[in-house]
A and B are shown apart, each in its own frame.
Chain A
Amino acid sequence: MSDLQTPEGGTPLVGPDPVYLQDPVLDATVRMVVELAAQVWVERERRITLETVLESRGLLTRQQLEAFKPTSVQTAALKEERNRFIEDVFKELRRIPVRQS
């Protein structure tokens, strides 16, 4: 944890990756849990919106959703989204220092 001091003094600022829980792995775990909660909410909000719109227009039934088979292009796009999701949640792993300072 390095200190950053402004040219005019004041309280020294903490560096970019402060450790609060005495173990950087614990810090990363907490960050990942909160990130996961955010990602779950984003998906839930979208699903509720989508289902509401589709149902109100009579365009989709639950059975059709279950039976959906993506094309190869759709599969590639899904994989790209999946990778972005993994990066969003697990980018915290990169912030764990090899050695605790």
Chain B
Amino acid sequence: MSSQPETMPALAQRADASYLDFVEGFREYILGKGADFEDRLNEELLAEEQRRGKKWQELEEIRAHVHGLPLGRLRDRLARTQQEMKWHTLKRSFEVQRQSLTAQLAHWDTRGPGRLELDPRFVYPPYVNVHFHLQPTGYYKDELSGYLYHYGTKVFFRGDNDHDELHAKLVARVPAPADGRVECILDLACSIGQSSTAFKRRFPSAEVTGVDYSAPMLRVAHRRAAVLGDDVTFAQRLVEDTGYADGQFDITFAFIVFHELPLRIIHETAREAARVTRKGGIFAIYDFTGTRDKSPFQRYHRWFDARHNGEPYSQDFCDCNLENILAENGFKVTAAPVGQRSGGAGYMSNWFATRE
């Protein structure tokens, strides 16, 4: 049981919580060992390799084989269905509370600790106009998007995000700069600020800033941090153009950000991170494992997730070589898979990069 104040938005009724609890359990069942889809389908793909006498090359070959299997098609149906069920119920549950939830955000906008910096002249770039993970209206068009995201990711992470557990765990693993100096930290695309507050708790004397394009996310981030008593600044800025000074930050951080950026913006963001991270500072990234390190089924799942779960940029991200991109921008990089459960083993990696 966590002792920190509750920041998860309340649902309209107990039945909604029960329903979403079912979806969380069902998601675990179909992604994990319950239905055992992944291992069984991957074994079939490996067996097919043996039968053909050659390794899978093109994604299209893998896709055609999975789609030829009733089990593969049913797995896709169920994966899509649980996501639709989650958003349907969440949207309905928050819709009936819209007035009170909106008032709650307004109440905290100007209260501390911490600060909310929204830019009234901010222009949303076209690439963000995506309903990522099928979230209704996406990340920024509904003022309740931050609340939808918070509860949505609780279900998504299946027990790792009831009280920010995953963020605390991943932030704890980030190496500090070799000289030990940590005075300024930047959390890129911070969404509702869970990593930002985890950094503030790990480095209480550091100035922590979270940036994101989504005003609704930032408002929830600020409220959440203020309720927790964490002094963090949340600012509406683009990850590829933060506007901060050269070398301002000792640690720059990006948690599951890059796979939601088009390739062009991935390059620009790496360049921007190199600019704002001081020499000897750390740029720490957690994101999807690259295609070359995936099993055949994981390659299939990446395509499925991209096309059927609102992740249009993720395939290009997994196909690119992030290590090279970081190196080209003046980082010395170590990369490794993250052995944690959410999303399944081998789905997430870390890149810890030192600015040279």
Residue contact B307 to A14, C-beta cutoff 8 Å: yes
In the docked arrangement, what's the CA distance between A7 and B126, Å? 7
**Nearest chain A CB to B155's CB is how many angstroms away?**
12
Mask of A2-42 contacts with B, CB within 8 angstroms, 1/0: 00011111111110001011100001001100110111011
A7, A8, A13 interface centre (most CB from chain B within 10 Å): A8
Contact status of A42 and B19, CB under 8 A, knowing A11-B314, A18-B308? yes
**Nearest chain B CB to A5's CB is how many angstroms away?**
8
Stretch with Cβ within 8 A of A (4 or more), from B47-55, B71-79, B210-218, B227-235: B71-79
Partner of A20, one of B76, B306, B311: B76
B80 interfacial contact with A, CB 8 Å: yes
Give every chain B residue within 8 A of A12 (Cβ-Cβ).
307, 312
List CB contacts (< 8 Å) of B250-288 with chain A: 262, 264-265
In the docked arrangement, what's the CA distance between A46 and B16, Å? 11
Nearest-neighbor residue (CB-CB) of A27 within chain B: B77
In the docked arrangement, what's the CA distance between A12 and B314, Å? 11
Give every chain A residue within 8 A of B84 (Cβ-Cβ).
31
In the docked arrangement, what's the CA distance between A34 and B306, Å? 23
Residue contact B78 to A34, C-beta cutoff 8 Å: yes
Nearest-neighbor residue (CB-CB) of B311 within chain A: A11
Chain B interface residue count, CB cutoff 8 Å, equals 36
Give every chain B residue within 8 A of A8 (Cβ-Cβ).
126-127, 262, 264-265, 313
Residue contact B316 to A13, C-beta cutoff 8 Å: no
**Nearest chain B CB to A73's CB is how many angstroms away?**
20
Give every chain A residue within 8 A of B291 (Cβ-Cβ).
none
A interface with B by C-beta (< 8 Å): 5-14, 18, 20-22, 27, 30-31, 34-35, 37-39, 41-42, 45-46, 49
Contacts A/B (CB < 8 Å), 12 sampled: A6-B127, A10-B315, A11-B313, A11-B316, A13-B308, A14-B307, A21-B73, A21-B77, A38-B85, A41-B21, A42-B18, A42-B22
Add 20 more A-B contacts to A6-B313, A18-B80 (CB < 8 A).
A7-B126, A8-B265, A8-B313, A10-B314, A11-B303, A11-B306, A11-B314, A11-B316, A13-B130, A14-B308, A18-B308, A20-B73, A20-B76, A21-B73, A30-B78, A30-B81, A31-B77, A34-B26, A34-B85, A38-B26
